[in-house]
Amino acid sequence: MDTSRLLRTTGTVIAAAGLLLSGCTSDGSGGPKAVASSAGGTASAAASTAVPAALRPYYEQKLSWRDCGVPGFQCATMKAPLDYAHPESGQDVDIAVARRQATGPGKRLGSLVVNPGGPGGSGIGYLQAYAGIGYPAAVRARYDMVSFDPRGVDRSSPVQCLTGPEMDKFTQVDQTPDNAAERAELVAAFKQFAAGCQSRSQRVLPHVSTVEAARDMDVLRAVLGDEKLAYVGASYGTFLGATYAELFPGRVGRLVLDGAMDPSRPALEMNRDQTGGFETALRSFIKDCAKQSDCPLGKGGPEAMTEQLKEFFRKADAQPVPSGDPDRPLGESLATTGVIAALYDESAWPQLREALTAAMNGDGSGLLSLADSYYEREADGKYANLMFANAAVNCLDQPPAFAGPDAVDAAVPSFQKASPVFGAGLAWASLNCAYWPVKATGEARALTAKGAPPIVVVGTVRDPATPYKWAQALAQQLDSGVLLTYDGDGHTAYGRGSACIDTAINQYLLAGTPPKDGKKCT
Q: Which of 235, 419, 430, 480 is flagged as catalytic? A: 235
Q: Of 226, 317, 463, 502, which residue is the catalytic one?
A: 463
CB atoms under 10 Å from CB of 168, counted, come to 18
- The bridge status of strand 229-234 relative to strand 252-258 is parallel
Q: DSSP E strands: which ranges in 13-171?
A: 66-67, 74-81, 92-100, 110-115, 117-118, 143-148
**DSSP string of 359-371, one letter each residue:** HHTT--HHHHHHH
How many helices (H) and strands (E) the chain has is answered by 19, 12
Among candidates 281, 367, 270, which has minimal Cα distance to 316?
A: 367
Q: Are 130 and 11 in contact (CB under 8 A)?
A: yes
The yes-or-no answer on residue 491 being catalytic is yes
What are the phi and psi torsion angles at 486 (to 5°)? -110, 115
How buried is residue 361: exposed, middle or buried, by Cβ count under 10 Å (0-12/13-18/19+)? exposed
Q: How many residues in the chain?
A: 522
Instruction: Say how far apart CA 471 and CA 505 lie, in whole Å.
Output: 16
Number of neighbours of residue 374 by Cβ within 10 angstroms: 28
463 an active-site residue? yes
**In this structure, are residues 185 and 174 in contact, taking their beta carbons and an 8 Å threshold?**
yes
| Marked catalytic residue, from 154, 491, 498, 502 | 491
Catalytic, 86? Answer: no
Residues marked active site are found at 235, 463, 491
